[in-house]
A and B are shown apart, each in its own frame.
Chain A
Amino acid sequence: MIQKKICMLGGFAVGKTSLVKRLISGIFSEKYLTTVGVKIDQKSMSVRGQDILLVLWDLYGDDDFQKVRASYLQGASGYILVIDGTRKETVDVACRLHELAMKTIGPVPFVLLLNKHDLVDEWVVECPVVSDLSDQACLVSMVSAKTGEGVEAAFSALSEAMLKS
């Protein structure tokens, strides 16, 4: 089975872990996020008849207290950039992390997820704001970790893109 390492990137509390939890129930505790800075889970998927094992590196949200370790990005075949639609500042964090990823692992497929679509009324982020990222992403999707909207599809899309690359 093909294995692919995927990193979940995004600012603090944008919903990365919730998105992963929506997909799978992992074996590691979330305390690793605040201690080691990463929690890893695995998810088997089938994309266009091809079995793939996604190894998800859920990285601690980039904030003033802790920065994403570049070493955790090494070897990733793709990543998921998560933005909180209700917090504009998470866009800047996403941009910065995207730059870090480009610098560390080069141009690999990534998807851009605007989370908390269930709170769309409170959204302050508009698509044009993220247009630069959108152009490079293989998929831009509005998702909701709470309702599960668009989550599976986003991972499938990234898997497909990684298999093609």
Chain B
Amino acid sequence: MERTGRSSPTHPPSEYDKGESEDFSALRRLLLSPEQVQLDRLRQRLDTFVVDAQEVSRVLPDAIRLRARQDNRLLASMLPITQEALALSIKQSPQIISDSIAPILGSAVRKAISRAMREMLQSLNQTLEYSMSWQGLQWRWEAWKTGRPFVEVVLLHTLRFRVEQVFLIHKQTGLLLNHVMAEGISSQGEAAISGMLTAIQDFVRDSFQQGQDEGLESLRIGDLTVWIEQGAKAILATVIRGTPPVKLRDVLQNTLESIHTQYSDSLQNFQGDGAVFLETRPHLEDCLQAQFVRKQKGVPVVFGALSALLLVLLGWWAFQASVNHQQWTELLKRIGAEPGIVVTTIQEEGGKTVFHGLRDPLAVDPDRLLEEVGYSPHAVGFHFEPFIALTPEMIRKRAVTGLQPPESVEVSVEGSRIILKGKSSHAWISKVEQSALTIPGISEISLERLIDTDLKQFEALQVELEEHAIFFLTGQGRVPNRELVKIQRVKSILQELDRKAMQLGRQPFIYVMGYSSPVGSHPINLSLSERRANTVLEIISENPFHVLKLSAVGKGVDPEVAPGSGKGQVYSASRRVSFKVVEPGITQLRKAGARTGS
């Protein structure tokens, strides 16, 4: 390699030239030796240039940073190398990569699986819950009615809050730097909206003379809220449906601060080109948060308990209403059917239902009817004018009240006739005969089927007395001892008969009739029969009678015994005294030979 000078390419060096060249070189060495040495060293260094790693390491970080600022060429250059290096590394030493990413990969995989499972379960739960439940059916009805998708209706009802849109706005110009939306949200004119939000802020700021750092923090329109976070150079506006939690503010502020930190220069030098801010999308998407209403397990229990309580109350109310209705119906029925009560009107007065009309004093007490049907006496009142009812029931009731019949008597009424059946004392019958016709509504009395027990007894005593006979010995006028017992019985019958006759108001005659047998002459027999009758009369009249009047009558020979036909036995039956009860006008007596005794 030629290093020291130029040589002619056309002429080979001659001897002269050779000597001259050596001289020239010597001269040059003498004159430029130090510089020549340095020059040779530099030349040698250039020729044998080796990159100094230490020097490069000092400038490399800054060099990369500066180059990356200029354009993406460095990144583009490094990308394939990095990819190849990574691929080679995985191929040769997979363990290193595996160990390196294991801590984050495990966590990330678990997180991803957990999230996927949770979303799947939540989706399944929601699908089941909203498809099968009553609420779900209601929402389906609402979706059908409004023509909106079922999913949208469910979302609206289950959403607590959801950030639907995020605007990153350049503060000075109001131009939109970036914009993200939640899934399913459509928007138009984001740039104009961004400008309008800025204009409204300027308007409010100007109107209320607030500083540049102040501004609207939130707007609310119906279910939508716009939260605006103010930064030094950018504004973060979020459109939120529902009621957002306060902590969302922190998320928005952190996002805005992070963007300011990373894009400070870009924000400062923004001239309308928003390309660089496309990288803020992950930041903005972090703000697209949502929270759904959790179905609280406690609520259905409370709801169930309340529902059960409501059902019980409703059931109780229905039962009470039914009972009240039944009681009211029964009350109306009873009052309507009750004899002696006539209802003319029913009115509501002072919170009470008041019956107006007429009431017989002997009719049932209406308050008692209330008690019997169980209706509340506080809810009902009565205002009845007194009157006399002439219905058969009330006539009978009035008769029973006035006559007070014994239990053995049955009282019935037909029209205006009162019919008495059964048995009663003579005194009560007399009272009925006197007072029954004075009872209002009664004009006739029927006693045909009413038995006078005193009269019956009187008649029975009369028959018993007449069946008795006192027998005498032949030719004797004295009562034999064997007949004294019979005499005592006759005496007690007469006493009883006297008492009954007094009760009945009668004055019967008792004829003591003496008889003799046909043996002997007529005068003797007549005399004997008289003596016998008088003897018995004297004995039975030892105790005085109140109303009975007794007479001894000698009948002579018993007419039932024909003379000469009798035997001893028959004749003994004719020597006797018999008794006959006679009431004036009732029994015709034979007056002949009568004698009055007492």
Binding site for B on A (CB under 8 A): 1-5, 26-28, 32, 36-38, 40-42, 53, 55, 57, 69, 71-72, 74-77
Say yes or no: B172 contacts A55, CB within 8 Å: no
Which residues of chain A come closer than 8 Å to B170, judged between CB atoms?
75
Residue of chain A at shortest CB distance from B204: A36
Question: Which stretch from B193-201, B287-295, B527-535, B563-571 is at the chain A interface?
Answer: B193-201
Assess whether B191 is in contact with A26, with CB atoms less than 8 Å apart. Answer: no
| Bound CA span A77–B173, Å | 9
Closest Cβ neighbor of B189 among chain A residues: A27
Contact at B173–A76, with CB atoms within 8 Å?
A: yes
A40, B196: Cβ atoms closer than 8 Å? yes
Tell whether, in the assembled complex, residue A72 and residue B173 are in contact, meaning their CB atoms are under 8 Å apart: no
B202 at the interface (CB under 8 A from A): yes
Residues of A within 8 A of B345 (CB): none
Is the pair A55, B203 in contact by a Cβ cutoff of 8 Å? no
What 1/0 mask marks residues of chain B from 202 to 246 whose CB sits below 8 Å from any chain A CB? Answer: 110110000000000000000000000000000000000000000
Once the chains bind, are B202 and A28 in contact (CB under 8 Å)?
no
Q: Does B408 contact A (CB under 8 A)?
A: no
Report Cα–Cα, A58/B42, bound state, in Å: 70
Q: Which of these, A28, A38, A75, contacts B175 with CB under 8 Å?
A: A75
Q: A26-B192, A38-B199, A75-B174 are in contact. List 15 more A-B contacts (CB 8 A).
A: A2-B273, A2-B274, A3-B191, A4-B272, A27-B189, A36-B199, A37-B199, A40-B192, A42-B192, A55-B176, A57-B174, A69-B202, A72-B199, A74-B174, A75-B173
Closest CB in chain A relative to B237 CB, distance in Å: 14
In the docked arrangement, what's the CA distance between A143 and B203, Å?
31
Complex alpha-carbon distance, A27 and B189, angstroms: 7
- 6 closest Cβ contacts across the A-B interface? A75-B173, A40-B195, A71-B202, A42-B191, A75-B172, A42-B192
Chain B neighbourhood of A36, CB < 8 A: 199-200, 203
Interface flag for B188 (CB, 8 Å): yes
Partner of A53, one of B174, B188, B191, B206: B191
Whether the pair B202, A26 counts as a contact (CB closer than 8 A) is no
In this complex, what residue of A is CB-closest to B177?
A3
- Measured between beta carbons, the chain A residues less than 8 angstroms from B273 are 2-3
- Chain A positions within 8 Å of B272 at CB level: 2-5, 77
Question: Given the known A-B contacts A36-B199, A40-B199, are A5 and B189 also in contact in the complex, defined by CB atoms under 8 Å?
Answer: no
A77: min CB distance to chain B, Å:
6
Range of interface residues on B (Cβ < 8 Å) = 20 to 34
Question: Which of B176, B193, B200, B205 sits near A3, CB closer than 8 Å?
Answer: B176
Select one of A28, A75, A76 contacting B192, CB under 8 A: A28
B residues bordering A, Cβ < 8 Å? 170, 172-176, 188-189, 191-196, 199-200, 202-203, 205-206, 271-274
B196/A32 in contact, CB under 8 A: yes
A79 CB to closest chain B CB, in angstroms? 13
Q: Pick the contact of B203 from A37, A41, A77 — CB < 8 Å?
A: A37
Q: Which residues of A contact B271 (CB under 8 A)?
A: 77
Pair B199/A57 contact, Cβ less than 8 Å: yes
Is A27 touching B199 in the complex (CB atoms < 8 A)?
Answer: no
Distance, CA A37 to CA B271, complexed state (A): 25
User: Are B192 and A27 touching (Cβ within 8 A)?
Assistant: yes
CB-CB nearest in chain B for A73: B202
In whole Å, how far is B174's beta carbon from the nearest beta carbon of chain A? 6
B residues in contact with A3, CB < 8 Å: 173, 175-176, 191, 272-274
Taken together as a complex, chains A and B put the C-alpha atoms of A75 and B170 apart, in Å, by: 9
B247 CB to closest chain A CB (Å) equals 32
| Centre residue among A40, A53, A57, A69 by max chain B CB count within 10 A | A40
Give the shortest distance, in Å, between A162 (CB) and chain B (any CB): 8
Of the A-B pairs whose beta carbons lie under 8 Å apart in the complex, a sample of 29, sorted by A's number, is: A2-B274, A3-B176, A3-B191, A3-B273, A4-B175, A5-B195, A26-B192, A27-B189, A27-B193, A32-B196, A36-B199, A36-B203, A37-B199, A41-B189, A41-B192, A42-B191, A53-B191, A55-B176, A55-B191, A55-B195, A57-B195, A57-B199, A71-B202, A72-B202, A74-B172, A74-B173, A75-B170, A75-B173, A75-B175
